[in-house]
Structure 1
Amino acid sequence: MLINNQFDRVFLARGNTDLRKSIDGLAVIVKECFDLDPFSPCLFVFCNRKRDKLKILQWEHNGFWLHYRRLERGKYHWPSERETTAMNISPRQLRWLLDGLPIEQRQAHHSISIMKYTNMRIGLGKSGSFSYNIFYGKANERKRCPIL
């Protein structure tokens, strides 16, 4: 399991990769085929032809990590090899992929910004007392927060 979250981006090698390659061979693929820096703080993910094994190449401070995962049952939902460039995905999509789900989730909740959908009004009441109201939701469907 990837515990260290010190990476900027995640790149998938589309199609299949010969997983007999080790650190040096995968680093050459990253550099020569994808024109990316294998020493960057990114994860580079590779999958075999049968779609049941993954290798993840990661640089950390003074050396490479090579994570390896083999499924006992089932297959990964891996993107096709129509394009030869690496596919940039989010860490959330990588988690879906490792959990056996497709990268594109139609039912997944989209990330929202709380500041975009929250409005706080502060003012003095009619009696001169301090009052505030917090509203949430989109502008056309504002609701008063019942907790505060």
Structure 2
Amino acid sequence: MIRPAQVWLAVEPVDMRGGIDSLSQRIQNLLGTSPCDGSAYAFRNRRSTRLKLLIWDGTGVWLCQRRLHRGHFVWPTADASTVGLTARQWEWLVTGVEWQRLDAPAPIHWRV
């Protein structure tokens, strides 16, 4: 399994019919970087039930797709066009778990 150093999520949904070329172009337009920089780039559909991952492995570009049969991927809502994830957050995201809550600090007003 390929384990990228950094995973970037494109916040806005994309048309899942797009392939390597159209998603690579989207990366260049969103970030101004090359899709061959060693990072992985993830895209989702509108319903957040499918995602595509574009990653360079040093030899070529991989385009992987994952579909959930139940539930949806928890995707960030942010002012930025992309959000970076740690490897741990990525592993939780692809399983459909609400990864944003894993590292959340306890509310200040909460007491035992």
Higher Cα Rg, which structure: 1
Q: Cα deviations across residues 74-115 of structure 1 (Å, max 9, x unaligned)?
A: 1111112x424210110110111111112312478xxxxxxx
Q: Which runs of 4+ in 1 moved over 3 A?
A: none
Q: Give the structure, 1 or 2, with the largest relative contact order (CA under 8 Å, sep 6 or more).
A: 2
Which residue pairs with 1:22 in the alignment? Answer: 19
- 1:104 match: secondary structure: helix
In structure 2, C-alpha distance between the alignment counterparts of 1:17 and 1:73, rounded to whole Å:
20
CA contact (8 A) 1:15 1:78 kept: no
How far off its partner does 1:55 sit?
0.1
RMSD of Structure 2 on Structure 1 (CA)? 1.6
In structure 2, C-alpha distance between the alignment counterparts of 1:48 and 1:84, rounded to whole Å:
18
- 2:52 match: secondary structure: strand
Higher helix fraction (1 or 2): 2
Higher strand fraction (1 or 2): 1
In structure 2, C-alpha distance between the alignment counterparts of 1:53 and 1:45, rounded to whole Å:
10
Which residue pairs with 2:2 in the alignment? Answer: 4
- Unaligned segments of structure 2, at least 5 residues: 105-112
Which residue pairs with 1:49 in the alignment? Answer: 46
- Unaligned segments of structure 1, at least 5 residues: 109-148
Q: Would the alpha carbon gap of residues 33 and 106 (structure 1) be closer, same or farther in structure 2, given more than 3 Å must change?
A: closer
Q: How does 1:52-63 map to 2 (within 5 A)?
A: 52-63=49-60
Say how many residue pairs are matched.
104
1:76 to 73, 93, 103: 73
- Give the TM-score taking structure 2 as reference length: 0.84
